[in-house]
Amino acid sequence: MKIKWFFLLMVITIATVLTGCEPLAVLDPKGPQAERQAQDILLSIGIMAVVVIVVFALLIYMLVKYRASKMPEDYEPPHIEGNPWVEAICIGIPILIVGYLSVVSVQSNYIVESAPKGYEDQEPLVIYASSSNWKWHFSYPEEEIETVNYLYVPTDRPLEFRLYSYGPITSFWIPQLGGQKYAMADMITTLHLAADEQGELMGRNANFSGKGFAENTFSVKAVPEKDFEDWVDEVKETAKPLTEEKFDELLEPGHLGQMTFTGTHLEFAPPPEHDHGSADSEEGHEEGHDEHETQSEHDGH
């Protein structure tokens, strides 16, 4: 009786706790990239749930059907050869599941690495996102402004983040907009995102980078294009310029609140030259390859 009440109480407790939980950020997408990833996560969970249910059902069936019985001590069960159908099912189904998930994963990887679906013909907003211990610096080169530990982005417009680090390797992640990507010291990695809805989002460094890692977060505010332009104008009218001395001070290890400046550190502290993952870098590589071939032909003549 006590065991029965214990399990009943446990079920009620779990149900009560779960009803108060907020939805996981990765399963509450606000952009096309995150929506694709959420679909893949739910697909994987669904397949795993079916596998678990089938396995537990078979386990219960075996335990009931072949449970211990009152047989003589000298009883020997009949010898049974392997069943090819059972072996084919046990081996074939896992192979089919892994193969299917592999195809879905490869397709999704190409989708989330390219321009967001529905925004292919629009000019992206380029933002340089650099990390230091333990803060984030966001440079808007076209708007000539820079923020620390917060982002303002327009909705319904593609976003192109160019990531690098002034310290250890970090990982830039806005769960409701897309997956994480590393920011490194000697190269730029490019991440394509977009926000379909207005709202306040959370971003963070998802890679351990020292004792201040837990607070290496930033906020993201997605607003309509008109509100974004108004914010840019307000910053240019009210914010102080970012100097080289001030930027060097910001790079010192420590935590800061949100800060806003006119101008960017790209003018006196340019990002790494090696660009990985952007269309510009691929075009530059192709041009360099063509020039090399031309020069080789000229030398041959």
Mean pLDDT of the region 64-78:
81
Residue that has been written with the tokens 């830039």 in this structure: 172
pLDDT value, residue 209 = 87
Chain centroid to Cα 213, Å, comes to 17
- Going by pLDDT thresholds of 50, 70 and 90, the confidence category of residue 247 is very high
**What domains can be seen in the chain, in order of their start residue?**
26-62+87-113 (no CATH), 125-285 (2.60.40.420)
Q: Would you say residue 20 has pLDDT above 60?
A: no
Q: What are residue 146's phi and psi, to 5 degrees?
A: -145, 140
Mean pLDDT of the region 114-123:
92
Q: Would you say residue 61 has pLDDT above 50?
A: yes
Mean pLDDT of the region 153-181:
96
Query: Do the Cβ atoms of 187 and 164 come closer than 8 Å?
Result: yes
Query: Do the Cβ atoms of 188 and 274 come closer than 8 Å?
Result: yes
The CA angle 174-177-181, to the nearest 5 degrees, is 50
**Element at 37 (helix H, strand E):** helix 32-65
**C-alpha to C-alpha distance for 30 and 16, rounded to whole angstroms:** 28
Q: To 10 degrees, what angle do helices 84-113 and 32-65 make?
A: 170
Mean of per-residue pLDDT scores for the chain? 87
Q: Counting beta carbons within 10 angstroms of the beta carbon of residue 294, is it exposed (0 to 12), middle (13 to 18) or buried (19 or more)? A: exposed
217: tokens are 């977060």
**Element at 107 (helix H, strand E):** helix 84-113
A 10 A CB-CB count for 100 gives 12
**Element at 56 (helix H, strand E):** helix 32-65
pLDDT digits (tens, 9 = 90+) for 252-271: 999 999 999 999 999 999 99
**C-alpha to C-alpha distance for 225 and 83, rounded to whole angstroms:** 65
Name the nearest CA neighbour of 117 among 4, 16, 34. 34
Q: Give Cβ neighbours of residue 129 (< 8 Å, ≥ 6 apart).
A: 136, 137, 138, 139, 161, 162, 163, 172, 183
pLDDT digits (tens, 9 = 90+) for 75-105: 887 887 888 888 899 899 999 999 999 999 9
Q: Give Cβ neighbours of residue 222 (< 8 Å, ≥ 6 apart).
A: 30, 153, 154, 155, 195, 197, 198, 199, 201
Q: Counting beta carbons within 10 angstroms of the beta carbon of residue 124, is it exposed (0 to 12), middle (13 to 18) or buried (19 or more)? A: middle
pLDDT digits (tens, 9 = 90+) for 50-60: 999 999 999 99
pTM for this prediction:
0.79
DSSP code per residue over 254-296: S----EEEES-GGGTSPPPS-EES-HHHHHHHHHHHHHHHHHH
